[in-house]
A and B are shown apart, each in its own frame.
Chain A
Amino acid sequence: MRLSYPSNIKIIRIPCTGKVDILHILRSFEKGADGVYVVGCMEGDCHFNSGNFRARKRVEQARKILETVGIGGDRVWMYNLSSSEGPRFAEIAVEMDKKIRDLGPNPMKLAKKKAA
């Protein structure tokens, strides 16, 4: 298909979105990520039954925590699509890139620069 999507998106492969922990999401912000999105299988299609539902719950919790600490909950999103949806994957990447650009950089980065 040779679809293109924004090059600033770094893909971290995991065996199932059920592997994603709140801590993984929080640490990525601590390390300076501007946004994180989790792309899981369609709801009801998880090979492990509930992996993507677990991921969604964790994404919601991470959003709440990030909102509380002033980073912004809207920097974390969850999407569901099947592995054959390449064009949708590229679409989501563009959508996510725009969302995060609208929000601006992770405030942690500015704070770290100030502190240095």
Chain B
Amino acid sequence: MIIADKKPIEEIIESIKDYSRILILGCNECVTVCEAGGKKEVGILASALRMYFLNKGKEVKIDENTLERQCDHEYLDELVDQVDNYDAIVSLACGVGVQFAAEKYRATPILPGVDTCFLGATEKRGLWTERCQACGQCILASTGGICPVSRCAKRILNGPCGGSSKGKCEINKDMDCAWQLIIDRLKALDKLDTYEELSPLKDWSTDRAGGPRKIMREDLLL
């Protein structure tokens, strides 16, 4: 899922200080699971902002709403009748939700309330780690299910490099060397012969190198 982190309240206050009718808009999907932008976080942020502005003697209306998703038209449409009631919307969705809302409601500033970080997994509550960079051409079948694109600092496809020491990466002693993990995993799967095969040059045009990407599926388009 998409992992996001809460923005400091001070930063959000700075971005909304000139508005007096504000909607805090949460998202029920990824940001709820990583506890950055779900219904609860909307409640906490709205409560904190109400107290801040009241304490400053400024009359600011702060409302709360949480949509099922902010990256689909049908859920964003739920705001059609309300959007004019606000001078600005603070979206606690990932960057996708913020942009999609901004495209739909062009006359209302949509401000980000979280920092969108990466595609990752919940290792345990409070700890999320990156697993995928959405390079558009998955090579996990040949790397024992461990991705060197997202988990190797150099994104090398025939590793490890000389910076791998005792299973750790040279850039950080706490970071596993992805290629060490791959070799260990291939060994456990009795597929070390796969490791001997050199990876061909990767077509990075499906990654960000090819510019913003899109997928069009003729079988689904109406």
Contact = CB atoms under 8 A, between A and B. Distances in A.
Contacts, number: 48
Interface of A: 21-23, 26-27, 29-30, 65-66, 68-71, 107-108, 111-112, 114-115
A114 B56 CA distance: 11
Of the listed residues B48, B49, B59, the one surrounded by the most CB atoms of chain A closer than 10 A to its CB is B48
18 contacts: A22-B44, A23-B40, A23-B43, A26-B44, A26-B47, A26-B51, A30-B50, A65-B9, A65-B44, A69-B48, A69-B52, A69-B55, A108-B51, A111-B56, A112-B54, A115-B54, A115-B57, A115-B59
Of the listed residues A27, A69, A111, A115, the one surrounded by the most CB atoms of chain B closer than 10 A to its CB is A69
Contacts of B196: none
B127 to A, nearest CB: 14
- Dominant secondary structure of chain A at its interface with chain B: helix
B41 to A, nearest CB: 9
Contacts of A65: 9, 44, 48
Interface in B42-73: 43-44, 47-52, 54-57, 59
Interface of B: 9-10, 40, 43-44, 47-52, 54-57, 59
A114 to B, nearest CB: 6
Contacts of B57: 111, 114-115
Nearest to B59: A115
Contacts of A30: 47, 50-51
Contacts of B56: 70, 111
A111 B54 CA distance: 6
- Dominant secondary structure of chain B at its interface with chain A: helix
A68 B55 contact: no
B9 A69 contact: yes
Contacts of A21: 40
Contacts of A108: 51, 54-55
A30 B49 CA distance: 10
A65 B59 CA distance: 20
Of the listed residues B10, B49, B51, B57, the one surrounded by the most CB atoms of chain A closer than 10 A to its CB is B51
A115 B60 CA distance: 11
B44 A69 contact: no
A29 B59 CA distance: 18
A70 B57 CA distance: 12
Nearest to B51: A69
Contact of A71 (B9, B10, B43, B55): B55
Given A22-B44, A23-B47, A114-B57, 5 more contacts: A26-B47, A26-B51, A66-B51, A68-B52, A70-B51
Nearest to B126: A57
